[in-house]
């Protein structure tokens, strides 16, 4: 082995030794001493099963959803309208409303296609734009 190869081996051995002698973090369990790898795996599995340890948002009930008004969209007369695109576009699917589309208006006055916002409300209870809570 040449001089360069020997130098590389020495550096590799030094790095290996440094890693093996470096202090390792200790995870403590309340009242039980250091946690072992199996304890950490069990904790990770429990957190994963519980949705990552985070509370899962609940959707809107069907009763509350049915109380939100819907209407059939009709394109406003361009001569008399100063509506923003917020009122003429569904912010969920990003498509412009077309004549005949079923549109749901939320209490915060944001509008969406019924099928888009109803699907959104299966998992969330807040407006996709302003986060106003729907009860």
Give the number of other Cβ atoms within 10 Å of residue 42's Cβ: 12
Number of separate domains in the chain:
2
Q: Higher model confidence: residue 7 or residue 99? A: 99
Query: Looking at the domain assignment, is residue 134 inside a domain?
Result: no
Query: Looking at the domain assignment, is residue 113 inside a domain?
Result: yes
Tokens read off for 131:
């986060």
Average pLDDT, integer, range 79-97: 80
**83 and 112, same domain (yes or no):** yes
**33 and 67, same domain (yes or no):** no
Helix (H, G, I), strand (E, B) or coil at 89: strand
Average pLDDT, integer, range 67-75: 95
Of 55, 72, 91, the last residue of a domain is: 55
**112 and 72, same domain (yes or no):** yes
Query: Looking at the domain assignment, is residue 75 inside a domain?
Result: yes
The pLDDT of residue 134 is 92
Cα 109 to Cα 106: distance, rounded to the nearest angstrom: 5
We report the CATH number of the domain holding residue 106 as 3.30.40.10
Query: Looking at the domain assignment, is residue 114 inside a domain?
Result: yes
CA atoms within 13 A on the CB side of 118: 14
CA end-to-end distance (rounded Å), the chain: 75
The pLDDT of residue 77 is 76
* 8 A C-beta contact, residue 27 and residue 41: no
Q: Is the pTM of this model over 0.85?
A: no
What residues make up the domain containing 83?
62-120
Cα 14 to Cα 104: distance, rounded to the nearest angstrom: 67
Q: What is the mean pLDDT of the chain?
A: 79
Query: Looking at the domain assignment, is residue 20 inside a domain?
Result: no
- Listed in order, strand segments (DSSP E) in the chain are 28-29, 33-34, 70-72, 102-105, 111-113
Residues above pLDDT 70, as percent of the chain: 56
């Amino acid at each position: 082995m040449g001089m360069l190869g020997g130098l590389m081996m020495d550096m590799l051995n030094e790095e290996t030794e440094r890693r093996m002698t470096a202090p390792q973090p200790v995870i403590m369990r309340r009242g039980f001493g250091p946690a072992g790898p199996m304890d950490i795996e069990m904790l990770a599995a429990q957190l994963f099963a519980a949705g990552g340890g985070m509370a899962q948002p609940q959707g809107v009930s069907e009763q509350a959803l049915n109380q939100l008004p819907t209407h059939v969209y009709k394109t406003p007369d361009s001569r008399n309208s100063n509506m923003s695109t917020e009122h003429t576009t569904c912010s969920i699917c990003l498509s412009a409303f077309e004549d005949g589309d079923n549109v749901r208006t939320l209490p915060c006055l944001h509008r969406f296609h019924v099928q888009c916002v109803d699907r959104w409300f299966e998992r969330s209870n807040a407006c996709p734009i302003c986060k106003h809570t729907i009860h």
